[in-house]
A and B are shown apart, each in its own frame.
Chain A
């Protein structure tokens, strides 16, 4: 009897386990969505996401892969970014008139509806901006706004504290959400699917455990999207993602793993693209570091370090040689106001071992010092998981050894390292900056008001440059909307930074995109792709 009961129990356990493996559907379906269609049996577009979505609220998404979904497919701003053409374009703003003093922007809105069926009004724009202005994360794009008013349902008036020509970035960064829906949801907004955006898709399923599904918004103001159903598959491992793509389980993959690029090129036939990304790695030097009697305070040492770095080697280590050596803070192809290295207006620190050695000798370092190794402390970086920056650190360590400079390499998770970089608790570091579309963003890196955001602290009595002038140039740069004038100002600014030998651009990370034969992805965008432009090949 005991045996029979035991066998029965085991059987019940097994059946429970196996039946529990059935497909699970997130119960959190959005409320009825006027104008949206139910599943039509259309083919589902499968995309990769490397991690689960942090939030369905655009304000609460902090990484690019989340923004690719929430900022582009679900919500929209007054402007959008067109990476393919390199610039901002009108989106929810039909037209924008600027006053002569450059302080008043009058925005006329397009005729758009939210996914919940409500008409988008000027009051929603005012609400969205006010909400963002209360969020510290968006200080950098809202601090210049004095007030926003709804003139009528279709017109919003922005009054700025001072002329600010980089406002385009604000118009792109701040998304418009439905005041009614956000207010009704209260603090829980962002934790469940919603219909508070005006974008071409709304989130139909959001489960932190199993993924994310989107559905086309049939009343989208530009007309409904071609592809009706989208499913994001959470695949962290690159190798697994490559197999999923080659197995036909993914239709489109942006940020394709570079280590597998050759294999992906073969399997995708002609359906691949490798472009220079808006994502640059830099070497930062903390000239204030007390290590070895403040050796990094010596400009000659910093210059020698820069000349000793072989960017081609760094590129091979970081991107399998698929990227490009970097000489700019932002790629000029993406940012019209970014000084281009091709113009020859600033120091590039091209790889030159002999020059590096000579600088050290001229600075008084003897052959004995060099033979013993000049200790500059630790080269710190983050992203232990991907290892891309760690590889660059090893290459730089080897490069420096060639001129008699020694450093240790320390790699840990970003959460541990970035606070140290922002408080200048390091000697040398490798850091990244991406997604810049206006050179004014360099304010974060050079302005004393950006404490906690910059890696090198320029506003200091021992500063290697005239930081007050730098800050003045930042302010001048946004005081005019003349692109040529801004370019001139920013060229002077960047030349000063490069002359201080504190930040060295290393490499542009490339963006690999592959897609299936059945998909036409429209114009390719390296970062913020628009599923709206996708269609199935007939």
Chain B
């Protein structure tokens, strides 16, 4: 098992290198430079050039990329924001934590709602509950988070005056954004769990368990659910990654200072250090989430555990 985890951890290295390389390449081909952004339109070109020179902006692409990697890996230095002159890490870390918090709320809500509803809908297939939840899930999966966000703002903040419309100061501030961000994945989870359960229910081993007289509860929880969970776990992991990377829309609507909105804001100023570091952080998180999903796979599926135990033996 440790071997498996180690192997997956090793995959992080090429992933991060690939991500940094792509982001660097993209930022390099877009026009504009930090000197002009920082010094403004009225600064003489000579001063702009000197500013860019001091930042190392004019270095050849691979040299610039290599310098960045060395600083990042050996000194944990992501550079200084062109826009605020603050260390990049100081800028992105608090915002990253906010986004992570929001994404976790979202994933917990979407899982707590989507998975049980999916299981029950599968167990009670063709019942009224199944029909209604499937219909609702169908609609909710199609609702973009920003529409839900604006709807919630209108209903809960403006009309009912129950929840604050802005910020992250208290738990109450997180309710609407977490709901907005979690409903579409909850609907997806529900549909995914249901179809996965239905597939598992039809398997021979379930029929065998029933034929052997196992109680229905055992059949569902022990034999069906455990097998049906594998693709659902993958889906939840993917959802978490998408929530982190895609929280920007909800962050902007609810004025949440997350990393997504920071990156979008700084694109306008071509604040490369912040854009690159923010994207790298999101990529690393996504990769780690997928690693956890893989480990959970091994935890849920004895076949994977057995495979690595065999290799060890």
Contact = CB atoms under 8 A, between A and B. Distances in A.
Contacts of A22: 170-171
Nearest to B42: A140
5 contacts: A54-B84, A136-B47, A234-B255, A240-B165, A416-B31
A139 B43 contact: yes
Given A208-B91, A235-B166, A419 B257 contact: no
Contacts of B44: 136, 139, 451-452
B84 A243 contact: no
Contacts of B169: 23-24
Contact of A416 (B30, B42, B104, B261): B30
A21 B168 contact: yes
Contacts of A246: 158
Interface string A90-113: 000000000000000000000000
A73 B18 CA distance: 46
A136 B43 contact: yes
Contact of B45 (A21, A210, A451): A451
Contacts of B86: 191, 208
| Cβ-closest 4 pairs across A and B | A136-B43, A136-B47, A415-B270, A209-B257
B48 interface: yes
B43 A452 contact: yes
A211 B173 CA distance: 15
A21 B101 contact: yes
B32 A54 contact: no
Interface string A133-150: 001111110000000000
Contacts of B41: 418, 422, 444, 452-453
A491 interface: no
Interface string A414-425: 111111101000
A236 B91 CA distance: 18
A55 B168 contact: no
Nearest to B251: A236
A190 interface: yes
Contact of A190 (B45, B85, B265): B85
A236 B265 CA distance: 9
A138 B45 CA distance: 14
A215 to B, nearest CB: 19
Contacts of A62: 38, 40
Contacts of B261: 236
A185 B165 CA distance: 37
Given A17-B101, A208-B91, A416-B32, A51 B265 contact: yes
B95 to A, nearest CB: 5
Contacts of A508: none
B269 interface: yes
Interface string A36-75: 0000000000000001101100001010000000000000
Given A209-B95, A233-B167, A452-B41, 6 more contacts: A17-B104, A23-B170, A137-B43, A237-B253, A240-B166, A419-B32
B33 interface: yes
B257 A210 contact: yes
Interface stretch (B137-145, B149-157, B192-200): B149-157
Contacts of A420: 31
Interface residues of B, number: 56
A209 to B, nearest CB: 4
A451 B36 CA distance: 12
B265 to A, nearest CB: 6
A234 B258 CA distance: 12
B256 to A, nearest CB: 9
Contacts of B95: 209
A208 to B, nearest CB: 6
Contact of A419 (B36, B42, B158, B174): B36
A449 to B, nearest CB: 9
B253 A210 contact: no
Interface string B11-28: 000000000000000000
Contacts of B268: 385, 413-415
Contacts of A20: 97, 101
Nearest to A444: B42
A137 B39 CA distance: 5
A20 B105 CA distance: 12
B161 interface: yes
Interface string B258-274: 00010001011110000
A488 to B, nearest CB: 27
Contacts of B40: 62, 136-137
B295 interface: no
A403 B19 CA distance: 49
A385 B261 CA distance: 13
Contacts of A385: 268
Contacts of B166: 233, 235, 240, 244, 249
Contacts of B254: 240
B37 interface: yes
